[in-house]
Chain A
Protein backbone atom coordinates (compact mmCIF):
# COMPACT_ATOMS: atom_id res chain seq x y z
CA UNK A 1 0.00 0.00 0.00
CA UNK A 2 1.45 3.34 -1.04
CA UNK A 3 1.80 5.98 1.65
CA UNK A 4 -0.21 8.49 -0.36
CA UNK A 5 -3.00 6.09 -1.25
CA UNK A 6 -6.45 7.16 -0.10
CA UNK A 7 -8.27 4.19 -1.62
CA UNK A 8 -6.83 0.70 -1.96
CA UNK A 9 -8.59 -1.81 -4.16
CA UNK A 10 -7.43 -5.26 -3.12
CA UNK A 11 -8.07 -8.24 -5.39
CA UNK A 12 -11.60 -7.23 -6.22
CA UNK A 13 -13.92 -9.40 -8.29
CA UNK A 14 -17.39 -8.19 -9.12
CA UNK A 15 -20.39 -10.03 -10.51
CA UNK A 16 -23.70 -8.96 -12.01
CA UNK A 17 -25.54 -12.26 -11.37
CA UNK A 18 -23.37 -14.85 -13.12
CA UNK A 19 -21.55 -12.29 -15.24
CA UNK A 20 -18.11 -11.45 -13.94
CA UNK A 21 -17.64 -7.75 -14.67
CA UNK A 22 -14.33 -7.21 -12.86
CA UNK A 23 -11.48 -9.68 -12.36
CA UNK A 24 -8.69 -9.43 -9.79
CA UNK A 25 -8.53 -5.65 -9.68
CA UNK A 26 -5.70 -4.43 -7.53
CA UNK A 27 -4.84 -0.74 -7.52
CA UNK A 28 -4.29 2.23 -5.23
CA UNK A 29 -5.75 5.67 -5.82
CA UNK A 30 -3.43 8.40 -4.61
CA UNK A 31 -4.51 11.38 -2.57
CA UNK A 32 -4.87 14.76 -4.31
CA UNK A 33 -4.36 13.33 -7.75
CA UNK A 34 -6.73 13.05 -10.67
CA UNK A 35 -6.95 9.45 -11.83
CA UNK A 36 -8.64 8.67 -15.13
CA UNK A 37 -10.22 5.30 -15.86
CA UNK A 38 -10.34 4.55 -19.59
CA UNK A 39 -11.26 1.62 -21.78
CA UNK A 40 -13.86 0.52 -24.32
CA UNK A 41 -17.54 0.18 -23.39
CA UNK A 42 -18.14 -2.79 -21.13
CA UNK A 43 -14.56 -2.89 -19.83
CA UNK A 44 -15.69 -2.39 -16.22
CA UNK A 45 -14.41 1.14 -15.59
CA UNK A 46 -17.80 2.57 -14.56
CA UNK A 47 -18.52 -0.54 -12.53
CA UNK A 48 -15.30 -0.01 -10.61
CA UNK A 49 -16.09 3.67 -10.10
CA UNK A 50 -19.50 2.81 -8.64
CA UNK A 51 -17.93 0.18 -6.40
CA UNK A 52 -15.83 2.88 -4.77
CA UNK A 53 -18.83 4.43 -3.03
CA UNK A 54 -21.07 1.39 -2.97
CA UNK A 55 -23.43 2.59 -5.68
CA UNK A 56 -23.63 -0.96 -7.00
CA UNK A 57 -25.37 -1.94 -3.73
CA UNK A 58 -28.48 -0.50 -5.35
CA UNK A 59 -28.44 -3.15 -8.11
CA UNK A 60 -29.94 -6.54 -7.28
CA UNK A 61 -27.98 -9.73 -7.82
CA UNK A 62 -24.52 -8.19 -7.60
CA UNK A 63 -21.65 -9.62 -5.60
CA UNK A 64 -18.32 -8.14 -4.52
CA UNK A 65 -15.25 -10.19 -3.58
CA UNK A 66 -12.05 -8.75 -2.14
CA UNK A 67 -11.86 -5.48 -0.28
CA UNK A 68 -11.82 -1.78 -0.96
CA UNK A 69 -10.12 0.28 1.72
CA UNK A 70 -10.93 3.93 2.16
CA UNK A 71 -8.50 5.60 4.57
CA UNK A 72 -7.57 2.10 5.69
CA UNK A 73 -11.12 0.92 6.39
CA UNK A 74 -12.87 -1.74 4.30
CA UNK A 75 -15.98 -0.02 2.93
CA UNK A 76 -17.58 -3.44 2.33
CA UNK A 77 -17.23 -4.52 5.97
CA UNK A 78 -20.64 -5.53 7.40
CA UNK A 79 -20.82 -2.71 9.95
CA UNK A 80 -20.19 0.08 7.43
CA UNK A 81 -23.09 2.37 6.53
CA UNK A 82 -22.97 3.09 2.78
CA UNK A 83 -24.50 6.53 3.39
CA UNK A 84 -21.50 7.49 5.51
CA UNK A 85 -19.19 6.31 2.72
CA UNK A 86 -21.06 8.35 0.11
CA UNK A 87 -20.67 11.46 2.27
CA UNK A 88 -16.89 11.08 2.10
CA UNK A 89 -16.83 9.84 -1.47
CA UNK A 90 -19.13 12.02 -3.56
CA UNK A 91 -20.26 11.38 -7.09
CA UNK A 92 -21.08 13.39 -10.20
CA UNK A 93 -22.88 11.68 -13.06
CA UNK A 94 -22.88 11.81 -16.83
CA UNK A 95 -26.05 13.84 -17.17
CA UNK A 96 -26.48 16.78 -14.82
CA UNK A 97 -29.17 15.77 -12.34
CA UNK A 98 -30.06 18.78 -10.20
CA UNK A 99 -33.00 18.44 -7.83
CA UNK A 100 -36.13 20.22 -9.11
CA UNK A 101 -35.59 22.87 -6.47
CA UNK A 102 -33.99 26.28 -6.23
CA UNK A 103 -30.26 26.64 -6.78
CA UNK A 104 -29.85 27.43 -3.09
CA UNK A 105 -31.81 24.38 -1.98
CA UNK A 106 -29.88 22.07 -4.29
CA UNK A 107 -26.77 22.88 -2.30
CA UNK A 108 -28.31 23.15 1.17
CA UNK A 109 -30.45 20.01 0.99
CA UNK A 110 -27.78 17.47 1.96
CA UNK A 111 -25.97 19.54 4.61
CA UNK A 112 -29.30 20.42 6.29
CA UNK A 113 -30.17 16.73 6.59
CA UNK A 114 -26.74 15.83 7.80
CA UNK A 115 -25.73 18.55 10.18
CA UNK A 116 -27.42 20.95 12.53
CA UNK A 117 -26.50 24.25 10.91
CA UNK A 118 -27.60 27.84 11.44
CA UNK A 119 -29.04 29.85 8.55
CA UNK A 120 -25.83 31.86 8.24
CA UNK A 121 -23.71 28.69 8.31
CA UNK A 122 -25.76 27.30 5.45
CA UNK A 123 -25.54 30.59 3.54
CA UNK A 124 -21.78 30.43 3.91
CA UNK A 125 -21.64 26.82 2.80
CA UNK A 126 -23.79 27.52 -0.27
CA UNK A 127 -21.59 30.45 -1.26
CA UNK A 128 -18.38 28.56 -0.62
CA UNK A 129 -19.49 25.48 -2.55
CA UNK A 130 -20.70 27.50 -5.51
CA UNK A 131 -17.45 29.45 -5.53
CA UNK A 132 -15.43 26.23 -5.47
CA UNK A 133 -17.43 25.02 -8.45
CA UNK A 134 -16.83 28.38 -10.20
CA UNK A 135 -20.56 28.99 -10.50
CA UNK A 136 -21.07 31.66 -7.84
CA UNK A 137 -20.66 34.71 -10.08
CA UNK A 138 -23.17 33.36 -12.56
CA UNK A 139 -25.90 32.48 -10.04
CA UNK A 140 -25.39 34.67 -6.96
CA UNK A 141 -28.36 36.89 -7.93
CA UNK A 142 -30.71 34.04 -8.82
CA UNK A 143 -30.16 31.64 -5.92
CA UNK A 144 -33.90 31.32 -5.43
CA UNK A 145 -34.62 30.49 -9.05
CA UNK A 146 -35.11 26.88 -10.10
CA UNK A 147 -31.93 24.96 -10.91
CA UNK A 148 -33.77 23.51 -13.88
CA UNK A 149 -33.48 26.87 -15.67
CA UNK A 150 -29.67 26.72 -15.74
CA UNK A 151 -27.75 25.61 -18.83
CA UNK A 152 -26.40 22.06 -18.98
CA UNK A 153 -22.88 23.20 -18.11
CA UNK A 154 -24.14 25.29 -15.20
CA UNK A 155 -26.29 22.39 -13.98
CA UNK A 156 -23.25 20.11 -14.01
CA UNK A 157 -21.20 22.62 -12.01
CA UNK A 158 -24.15 22.89 -9.63
CA UNK A 159 -24.03 19.12 -9.17
CA UNK A 160 -20.31 19.38 -8.42
CA UNK A 161 -21.04 22.20 -5.92
CA UNK A 162 -23.73 20.01 -4.37
CA UNK A 163 -21.25 17.16 -3.97
CA UNK A 164 -18.61 19.53 -2.52
CA UNK A 165 -21.08 20.90 0.06
CA UNK A 166 -20.96 17.50 1.75
CA UNK A 167 -17.22 18.02 2.40
CA UNK A 168 -16.09 14.83 0.73
CA UNK A 169 -12.49 13.62 0.46
CA UNK A 170 -12.96 11.97 -2.89
CA UNK A 171 -15.01 12.96 -5.93
CA UNK A 172 -16.04 10.27 -8.39
CA UNK A 173 -16.99 11.52 -11.82
CA UNK A 174 -18.67 9.33 -14.40
CA UNK A 175 -18.23 11.00 -17.79
CA UNK A 176 -19.04 14.41 -16.31
CA UNK A 177 -18.69 16.34 -19.56
CA UNK A 178 -20.08 13.96 -22.16
CA UNK A 179 -23.40 15.85 -22.29
CA UNK A 180 -21.77 19.29 -22.37
CA UNK A 181 -20.60 21.70 -25.08
CA UNK A 182 -16.86 22.41 -25.48
CA UNK A 183 -16.89 25.64 -23.45
CA UNK A 184 -18.70 24.05 -20.51
CA UNK A 185 -16.36 21.08 -20.84
CA UNK A 186 -13.34 23.39 -20.64
CA UNK A 187 -14.81 25.02 -17.52
CA UNK A 188 -15.32 21.66 -15.82
CA UNK A 189 -11.81 20.54 -16.77
CA UNK A 190 -10.39 23.77 -15.37
CA UNK A 191 -12.42 23.19 -12.24
CA UNK A 192 -11.11 19.64 -11.85
CA UNK A 193 -7.60 21.00 -11.98
CA UNK A 194 -8.44 23.46 -9.18
CA UNK A 195 -10.23 20.90 -7.06
CA UNK A 196 -7.40 18.42 -6.91
CA UNK A 197 -5.59 20.67 -4.45
CA UNK A 198 -8.18 19.70 -1.86
CA UNK A 199 -9.79 16.56 -3.20
CA UNK A 200 -8.91 13.27 -4.77
CA UNK A 201 -10.66 12.89 -8.10
CA UNK A 202 -11.38 9.70 -9.98
CA UNK A 203 -12.91 10.17 -13.39
CA UNK A 204 -14.29 7.82 -16.01
CA UNK A 205 -14.09 9.23 -19.50
CA UNK A 206 -14.43 8.02 -23.06
CA UNK A 207 -12.68 11.15 -24.24
CA UNK A 208 -9.07 10.11 -24.36
CA UNK A 209 -7.83 13.63 -24.95
CA UNK A 210 -9.68 14.67 -21.83
CA UNK A 211 -8.00 11.93 -19.82
CA UNK A 212 -4.66 13.10 -21.23
CA UNK A 213 -5.41 16.74 -20.40
CA UNK A 214 -6.70 16.51 -16.88
CA UNK A 215 -5.40 13.39 -15.17
CA UNK A 216 -2.15 12.63 -13.38
CA UNK A 217 -2.53 8.89 -13.63
CA UNK A 218 -4.49 6.75 -16.04
CA UNK A 219 -5.76 3.21 -15.71
CA UNK A 220 -6.68 1.26 -18.83
CA UNK A 221 -9.27 -1.50 -18.47
CA UNK A 222 -10.24 -4.20 -20.91
CA UNK A 223 -12.91 -6.87 -20.43
CA UNK A 224 -13.00 -6.46 -16.68
CA UNK A 225 -9.24 -6.43 -16.17
CA UNK A 226 -6.80 -3.69 -15.31
CA UNK A 227 -4.35 -3.79 -18.21
CA UNK A 228 -2.08 -0.85 -17.39
CA UNK A 229 -1.96 1.75 -14.65
CA UNK A 230 0.65 4.40 -15.18
CA UNK A 231 1.46 8.10 -15.18
CA UNK A 232 -0.76 9.80 -17.75
CA UNK A 233 2.22 11.31 -19.57
CA UNK A 234 3.67 7.82 -19.97
CA UNK A 235 0.40 6.22 -21.08
CA UNK A 236 -0.10 8.72 -23.89
CA UNK A 237 3.48 8.87 -25.14
CA UNK A 238 5.02 5.44 -24.55
CA UNK A 239 2.73 3.01 -22.74
CA UNK A 240 4.33 -0.14 -21.35
CA UNK A 241 1.67 -2.50 -22.65
CA UNK A 242 1.00 -3.01 -26.37
CA UNK A 243 -2.71 -3.42 -25.71
CA UNK A 244 -2.88 0.05 -24.16
CA UNK A 245 -1.07 1.51 -27.13
CA UNK A 246 -3.48 -0.17 -29.55
CA UNK A 247 -6.44 1.27 -27.68
CA UNK A 248 -5.28 4.86 -27.28
CA UNK A 249 -4.00 5.07 -30.85
CA UNK A 250 -7.28 3.72 -32.22
CA UNK A 251 -5.94 0.38 -33.46
CA UNK A 252 -8.59 -1.74 -31.87
CA UNK A 253 -10.02 -4.58 -33.88
Chain B
Protein backbone atom coordinates (compact mmCIF):
# COMPACT_ATOMS: atom_id res chain seq x y z
CA UNK B 1 0.00 0.00 0.00
CA UNK B 2 2.86 2.36 0.84
CA UNK B 3 4.44 1.90 -2.56
CA UNK B 4 1.43 3.17 -4.49
CA UNK B 5 2.15 6.80 -5.10
CA UNK B 6 -0.27 9.57 -5.95
CA UNK B 7 -0.23 10.99 -9.44
CA UNK B 8 0.26 14.36 -7.77
CA UNK B 9 3.71 14.35 -6.18
CA UNK B 10 2.84 17.45 -4.17
CA UNK B 11 -0.10 15.68 -2.57
CA UNK B 12 2.10 12.68 -1.89
CA UNK B 13 4.60 14.98 -0.17
CA UNK B 14 1.93 16.75 1.89
CA UNK B 15 0.67 13.43 3.27
CA UNK B 16 4.21 12.31 4.01
CA UNK B 17 4.89 15.54 5.89
CA UNK B 18 1.89 14.90 8.14
CA UNK B 19 3.07 11.39 8.87
CA UNK B 20 6.62 12.54 9.61
CA UNK B 21 5.24 15.33 11.78
CA UNK B 22 3.28 12.82 13.86
CA UNK B 23 6.34 10.64 14.34
CA UNK B 24 8.37 13.65 15.43
CA UNK B 25 5.59 14.76 17.78
CA UNK B 26 5.50 11.24 19.21
CA UNK B 27 9.25 11.34 19.83
CA UNK B 28 8.95 14.69 21.60
CA UNK B 29 6.18 13.49 23.92
CA UNK B 30 8.04 10.28 24.69
CA UNK B 31 11.10 12.36 25.64
CA UNK B 32 8.94 14.67 27.74
CA UNK B 33 7.66 11.72 29.80
CA UNK B 34 11.15 10.30 30.21
CA UNK B 35 12.53 13.64 31.37
CA UNK B 36 9.61 14.27 33.71
CA UNK B 37 10.13 10.87 35.30
CA UNK B 38 13.88 11.40 35.47
CA UNK B 39 13.31 14.73 37.23
CA UNK B 40 11.28 12.84 39.83
CA UNK B 41 13.61 9.87 40.27
CA UNK B 42 16.78 11.96 40.35
CA UNK B 43 15.11 14.81 42.27
CA UNK B 44 16.17 17.23 39.55
CA UNK B 45 13.73 20.17 39.54
CA UNK B 46 15.80 22.01 36.94
CA UNK B 47 15.03 19.23 34.45
CA UNK B 48 11.36 19.30 35.48
CA UNK B 49 11.17 23.03 34.68
CA UNK B 50 12.69 22.30 31.28
CA UNK B 51 9.92 19.77 30.55
CA UNK B 52 7.38 22.51 31.35
CA UNK B 53 8.97 25.12 29.07
CA UNK B 54 9.65 22.60 26.28
CA UNK B 55 5.93 21.80 26.07
CA UNK B 56 5.57 24.98 24.01
CA UNK B 57 7.37 23.15 21.20
CA UNK B 58 4.86 20.28 21.37
CA UNK B 59 1.94 22.72 21.33
CA UNK B 60 3.41 24.54 18.34
CA UNK B 61 3.87 21.32 16.40
CA UNK B 62 0.33 20.29 17.32
CA UNK B 63 -1.03 23.50 15.79
CA UNK B 64 1.12 23.15 12.69
CA UNK B 65 0.05 19.57 12.09
CA UNK B 66 -3.60 20.38 12.55
CA UNK B 67 -3.29 23.25 10.06
CA UNK B 68 -1.66 20.95 7.55
CA UNK B 69 -4.45 18.38 7.92
CA UNK B 70 -7.17 21.00 7.54
CA UNK B 71 -5.42 22.36 4.45
CA UNK B 72 -5.30 18.91 2.89
CA UNK B 73 -8.98 18.36 3.67
CA UNK B 74 -9.88 21.69 2.07
CA UNK B 75 -7.61 21.57 -0.94
CA UNK B 76 -7.29 17.86 -1.78
CA UNK B 77 -10.61 16.43 -0.65
CA UNK B 78 -8.99 13.15 0.33
CA UNK B 79 -10.96 9.91 0.01
CA UNK B 80 -10.70 6.31 1.25
CA UNK B 81 -7.26 5.49 2.73
CA UNK B 82 -6.17 9.14 2.49
CA UNK B 83 -9.35 10.34 4.18
CA UNK B 84 -8.94 7.78 6.93
CA UNK B 85 -5.31 8.80 7.31
CA UNK B 86 -6.04 12.52 7.65
CA UNK B 87 -8.93 12.09 10.11
CA UNK B 88 -6.76 9.63 12.04
CA UNK B 89 -3.84 12.07 11.99
CA UNK B 90 -5.99 14.86 13.45
CA UNK B 91 -7.05 12.62 16.32
CA UNK B 92 -3.59 11.18 16.95
CA UNK B 93 -2.26 14.72 16.98
CA UNK B 94 -4.76 15.57 19.72
CA UNK B 95 -3.75 12.50 21.75
CA UNK B 96 -0.07 13.41 21.47
CA UNK B 97 -0.65 16.98 22.56
CA UNK B 98 -2.53 15.77 25.63
CA UNK B 99 0.29 13.34 26.44
CA UNK B 100 2.62 16.34 26.37
CA UNK B 101 0.35 18.09 28.88
CA UNK B 102 0.41 15.02 31.14
CA UNK B 103 4.21 15.07 31.08
CA UNK B 104 4.01 18.71 32.22
CA UNK B 105 1.66 17.68 35.05
CA UNK B 106 4.12 15.01 36.14
CA UNK B 107 6.99 17.53 36.05
CA UNK B 108 4.98 19.99 38.19
CA UNK B 109 4.27 17.30 40.79
CA UNK B 110 7.94 16.26 40.71
CA UNK B 111 9.00 19.83 41.57
CA UNK B 112 6.69 19.78 44.61
CA UNK B 113 7.84 16.34 45.70
CA UNK B 114 11.49 17.29 45.32
CA UNK B 115 11.04 19.95 47.98
CA UNK B 116 10.22 17.34 50.63
CA UNK B 117 11.99 14.18 51.76
CA UNK B 118 11.30 11.18 49.55
CA UNK B 119 8.31 9.24 50.88
CA UNK B 120 9.35 5.84 49.58
CA UNK B 121 11.51 4.27 46.91
CA UNK B 122 9.90 4.54 43.49
CA UNK B 123 9.49 1.06 41.99
CA UNK B 124 6.15 0.83 40.21
CA UNK B 125 6.15 4.35 38.81
CA UNK B 126 9.29 3.83 36.66
CA UNK B 127 7.79 0.52 35.50
CA UNK B 128 4.61 2.33 34.49
CA UNK B 129 6.58 5.06 32.76
CA UNK B 130 8.52 2.48 30.81
CA UNK B 131 5.30 0.76 29.74
CA UNK B 132 3.59 3.95 28.58
CA UNK B 133 6.76 4.93 26.70
CA UNK B 134 6.60 1.60 24.88
CA UNK B 135 2.89 2.07 24.24
CA UNK B 136 3.53 5.41 22.54
CA UNK B 137 6.37 3.94 20.52
CA UNK B 138 4.38 0.87 19.46
CA UNK B 139 1.30 2.87 18.59
CA UNK B 140 3.35 5.16 16.33
CA UNK B 141 5.20 2.23 14.78
CA UNK B 142 1.80 0.65 14.15
CA UNK B 143 0.82 3.86 12.36
CA UNK B 144 3.96 3.95 10.25
CA UNK B 145 3.67 0.29 9.22
CA UNK B 146 -0.13 -0.10 9.30
CA UNK B 147 0.62 -2.93 11.73
CA UNK B 148 -2.37 -4.26 13.65
CA UNK B 149 -0.30 -6.72 15.71
CA UNK B 150 1.58 -3.80 17.23
CA UNK B 151 -1.69 -1.98 17.93
CA UNK B 152 -2.87 -5.05 19.84
CA UNK B 153 0.30 -5.04 21.95
CA UNK B 154 -0.60 -1.49 22.97
CA UNK B 155 -4.00 -2.65 24.21
CA UNK B 156 -2.44 -5.44 26.25
CA UNK B 157 -0.01 -3.08 27.93
CA UNK B 158 -2.78 -0.66 28.76
CA UNK B 159 -4.30 -3.27 31.05
CA UNK B 160 -1.00 -3.76 32.86
CA UNK B 161 -0.69 0.01 33.38
CA UNK B 162 -4.22 0.16 34.78
CA UNK B 163 -3.40 -2.62 37.24
CA UNK B 164 -0.20 -0.90 38.36
CA UNK B 165 -2.10 2.34 38.90
CA UNK B 166 -4.60 0.57 41.15
CA UNK B 167 -1.80 -1.14 43.02
CA UNK B 168 -0.05 2.20 43.66
CA UNK B 169 -3.32 3.70 44.92
CA UNK B 170 -3.84 0.86 47.39
CA UNK B 171 -0.27 1.01 48.61
CA UNK B 172 -0.35 4.78 49.15
CA UNK B 173 -3.65 4.48 50.92
CA UNK B 174 -2.04 2.33 53.59
CA UNK B 175 0.76 4.90 53.94
CA UNK B 176 -1.80 7.64 54.50
CA UNK B 177 -3.77 5.64 57.04
CA UNK B 178 -0.64 4.94 59.01
CA UNK B 179 0.65 8.50 59.01
CA UNK B 180 -1.47 11.52 58.01
CA UNK B 181 1.68 13.64 57.68
CA UNK B 182 2.51 11.87 54.38
CA UNK B 183 -0.88 12.63 52.80
CA UNK B 184 0.35 15.57 50.75
CA UNK B 185 3.23 13.62 49.21
CA UNK B 186 1.14 10.48 48.75
CA UNK B 187 -1.50 12.43 46.85
CA UNK B 188 1.15 13.95 44.58
CA UNK B 189 2.48 10.48 43.79
CA UNK B 190 -1.06 9.25 43.16
CA UNK B 191 -1.53 12.10 40.72
CA UNK B 192 1.63 11.15 38.88
CA UNK B 193 0.39 7.58 38.70
CA UNK B 194 -2.96 8.79 37.45
CA UNK B 195 -1.23 10.92 34.80
CA UNK B 196 0.74 7.90 33.57
CA UNK B 197 -2.47 5.92 33.44
CA UNK B 198 -4.09 8.70 31.37
CA UNK B 199 -1.10 8.70 29.02
CA UNK B 200 -1.66 4.98 28.52
CA UNK B 201 -5.29 5.75 27.61
CA UNK B 202 -4.14 8.25 25.00
CA UNK B 203 -1.63 5.78 23.57
CA UNK B 204 -4.45 3.26 23.35
CA UNK B 205 -6.48 5.94 21.57
CA UNK B 206 -3.70 6.19 18.99
CA UNK B 207 -3.73 2.40 18.55
CA UNK B 208 -7.52 2.48 18.13
CA UNK B 209 -7.13 5.04 15.36
CA UNK B 210 -4.53 2.86 13.62
CA UNK B 211 -7.05 0.01 13.75
CA UNK B 212 -9.57 2.31 12.05
CA UNK B 213 -7.00 3.48 9.52
CA UNK B 214 -6.16 -0.06 8.45
CA UNK B 215 -9.56 -1.77 8.64
CA UNK B 216 -12.06 1.08 8.27
CA UNK B 217 -13.79 -0.23 11.42
CA UNK B 218 -14.04 1.87 14.54
CA UNK B 219 -12.95 0.11 17.75
CA UNK B 220 -13.17 3.13 20.00
CA UNK B 221 -15.26 2.82 23.14
CA UNK B 222 -14.83 -0.95 23.16
CA UNK B 223 -13.28 -2.17 26.37
CA UNK B 224 -9.88 -3.70 25.73
CA UNK B 225 -10.11 -5.23 29.20
CA UNK B 226 -13.21 -7.09 27.98
CA UNK B 227 -11.26 -8.42 25.01
CA UNK B 228 -8.45 -9.63 27.20
CA UNK B 229 -10.56 -11.34 29.81
CA UNK B 230 -12.02 -13.94 27.47
Contact = CB atoms under 8 A, between A and B. Distances in A.
Interface string B24-58: 00000000000000000000000000000000000
Contact of A252 (B7, B78, B79): B7
B169 interface: no
B83 interface: yes
B218 to A, nearest CB: 11
A248 B5 contact: no
A249 B8 contact: no
A248 B80 CA distance: 7
A251 B7 contact: yes
Grouping DSSP codes into helix (H, G, I), strand (E, B) and loop, the A interface class, with mixed when no group exceeds half, is helix
Contacts of A251: 4-7
Contacts of B7: 250-253
Interface in A203-253: 208-209, 212, 235-239, 242, 244-246, 248-253
A249 B81 contact: yes
Contact of A208 (B5, B11, B79, B81): B79
Which of the four size classes fits the interface of chain B?
10 to 19
A249 to B, nearest CB: 5
A212 B79 contact: yes
Contacts of B216: 237-238
A246 B5 CA distance: 9
B8 to A, nearest CB: 6
A236 B8 contact: no
Interface residues of A, number: 18
A4 to B, nearest CB: 26
B198 interface: no
Contacts of B83: 236-237
Interface string B48-92: 000000000000000000000000000001111111100000000
A78 B77 CA distance: 47
Contacts of A245: 80-81
Interface string B1-27: 100111110010000000000000000
Given A236-B80, A237-B83, A238-B84, A250 B11 contact: yes
A253 B3 CA distance: 12
A236 B79 CA distance: 5
A249 B82 contact: yes
Given A249-B78, A249-B79, A250-B11, A237 B84 contact: yes
A212 B79 CA distance: 9
Nearest to A244: B80
A163 to B, nearest CB: 30
21 contacts: A212-B79, A236-B80, A236-B83, A237-B79, A238-B84, A238-B215, A238-B216, A239-B80, A242-B1, A246-B4, A249-B78, A249-B80, A249-B81, A250-B6, A250-B7, A250-B8, A250-B11, A251-B5, A252-B7, A253-B5, A253-B7
A251 to B, nearest CB: 5
Interface in B134-185: none
A242 B3 CA distance: 13
Contact of B6 (A209, A236, A249): A249
Interface string B124-136: 0000000000000
A212 B80 CA distance: 11
A57 B24 CA distance: 61
B89 to A, nearest CB: 15
A238 B77 contact: no
Contacts of A236: 79-80, 83
Which 8 A-B residue pairs are closest in the complex by CB-CB distance? A238-B216, A251-B4, A248-B79, A236-B79, A245-B80, A249-B82, A250-B6, A251-B6
A248 B84 CA distance: 13
A121 to B, nearest CB: 46
